[in-house]
Structure 1
Amino acid sequence: MGKKPMVKRSFSRLDDPGLSSFGKGVVTSLSGNAYFKEPYPQEVTPLGQVKGTLEGFDNACLEARSRAKQSIAQRKNLRTQLIKELNELADYVNLIAKGNVEILASSGFDYTKETAPSPVKHQATYPDVVLSQSVKRGGIVGKAKKAPRARSCEFHITTGDPTVEGNWKHAAVFGQFKNMELDGLTPGQQYALRMRWIMPEGPGPWTPPFFFMPT
């Protein structure tokens, strides 16, 4: 198979008015979107907060016309924050869409076309994760060496039979891999966890189940 369609990241190269207009289009498209229901995972900025960043960015752009150093610095900071939040949304859109053009188109993001199969296949491996107790009660910490091209690491969790696919629930997506912490779990309860890399072309294979009992 070729590479599946996915969100383009070219919005980071837009000028300030273009970035603002693009961000507003994404927020409008995602608001009330049945494919991307809120609340989002904790690693993804809520739409209400993105709207606030957009408003602040627009105001900072107006104030920066005065050429005041403080106003210019504020505009740059808010531009960086807006791009960060849009990248979080882009990761989430890719995760949900899994290459489905209809879902991608509904998000407001531009997206790539499906590419022809490559003569050389690069099979993604699953993460080599080490689990340990968190310093927090009811917490688990995962550590993994980053795989080449991996964008993030997704965790699923269950207290039921891990051989039943419907028992698995999304737990978290992490963009860094040295301190992936899940908290709020029940001490003394045995959990099964599985993880997979999210690659540019989509999710990789799941690990076999890990069994862990937080204290």
Structure 2
Amino acid sequence: MPLRGGAYLGEQKYYVYFRRPADVSQMTLLVWKHQDRDDDRWLYLPALDLVKRIAASDKRTSFVGSDFFYEDISGRSIDADSHELIETTDNYYVVRNKPKRPGEVEFAYYDVYIHKQSFLPVRTEYIDDSDNLYRRYTALAVENIQGYPTVVKARMENLRNGGTTELTYSGIDYDLGLPEDVFSERYLRRAPREYLQ
């Protein structure tokens, strides 16, 4: 397992299955995260029975009409930004992150509040070129599941238009021993229901 400064840097794969609301029910998102090139992303839209490849240029665009971006769902590479610890409070480490390629993103920088005990990022504030806060992520609820502190409810706010989206995670299990082929395009259309109970 490749580590640098405690961060996992190996290849990662995400499979996300949506139950609610009704307009995204049975939709699936598959992400293969790479360290040396752009991530691969696919989205299955059940209403159209369509698998859509998400272009790398779309990672900072709305995720199916929500206030989250594709990159918010699957994560941003640690190497995409430079990082600086700017503050330490009783509860948080505050890290400022500046993009190495500012022309590819709409923010000038973002500050992440990392909870000291759990090391979870519980708030992220995105600042534009005019030094205005325009997006904010907040972890609304954290539970200890199988020994892992886990965000179970989160909110993204668009402070420019007043939009807000909340995500709730349920039925969370760790260390399931998922077979590798679950993280393939064929399971976008045919969700592995034995693991989604």
Structure-2-length-normalised TM-score: 0.25
Q: Which has the larger radius of gyration?
A: 1
Structure having greater relative contact order (Cα 8 Å, sep ≥ 6)? 1
Which has a greater percent of strand?
2
**TM-score, scaled relative to structure 1:** 0.24
Higher helix fraction (1 or 2): 1
